[in-house]
């Protein structure tokens, strides 16, 4: 799937839910499905600064596509990491660069995050 198709899929999942309690549950579920990041990748150079929680992202180019791994010590943030990985991992760098995460605004997540979490999301 393309970046746009992945964004649309997540947007549909979230907009099909009636309330934010269910949306947060989906976000947490996505984070749990991400699993644990290998400790050798949870290093300082992969840590995202500007986040209230601890967040690690690691990206590498493999066979012309970006492979992205990530983790967080906070469940909601880990769900945000999982969404970004779902959208951007296994995509060509050129496609990633021309595809901003517009789905985040469309699902309204930006309106339901604290200012420090918004900063962290922007840093990711």
For the stretch 7-58, pLDDT in tens is 999 999 999 999 999 999 999 999 999 988 999 999 999 998 877 789 999 9
Return d(Cα 94, Cα 92) in angstroms, integer. 5
Provide the pLDDT for residue 114.
60
Least confident of 12-16, 51-55, 77-81, 96-100: 51-55
Taking the model in full, what pTM does it have? 0.88
DSSP string, 61-108: EETTEEEEEEEESSHHHHHHHHHHHHHHTTB-HHHHHT---THHHHTT
Q: Compute CA distances 47 → 3, 22, 25, 50, 98, whole Å.
A: 24, 29, 25, 10, 24
Question: Regarding beta strands 65-72 and 55-62, do their DSSP bridges make them parallel or antiparallel, or are they unpaired?
Answer: antiparallel
Domain hosting 26: range is 3-123
- The yes-or-no answer on residue 56 being catalytic is no
Q: What CATH number is attached to the domain comprising 53?
A: 3.90.1010.10
Q: Assess whether pLDDT exceeds 60 at residue 119.
A: no
Provide the pLDDT for residue 108.
86
Q: Assess whether pLDDT exceeds 90 at residue 88.
A: yes
Return d(Cα 121, Cα 80) in angstroms, integer. 8
Domains: count for the chain: 1
Residue tagged active-site, from 48, 51, 80, 124: 51
């Amino acid at each position: 799937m393309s970046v746009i198709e992945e964004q649309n899929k997540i947007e549909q999942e979230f907009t099909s839910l009636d309330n934010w309690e269910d949306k947060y549950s989906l976000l947490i579920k996505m984070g749990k499905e991400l699993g644990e990041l290998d400790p050798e990748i949870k290093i300082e150079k992969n840590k995202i600064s500007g986040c209230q929680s601890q967040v690690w992202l690691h990206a590498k180019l493999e066979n012309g596509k970006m492979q992205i791994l990530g983790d967080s010590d906070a469940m909601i943030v880990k769900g945000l990491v999982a969404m970004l990985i779902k959208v951007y991992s296994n995509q060509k760098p050129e496609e990633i660069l021309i595809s901003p995460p517009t789905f985040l605004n469309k699902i309204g997540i930006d309106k339901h995050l604290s200012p420090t979490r918004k900063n962290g999301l922007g840093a990711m």
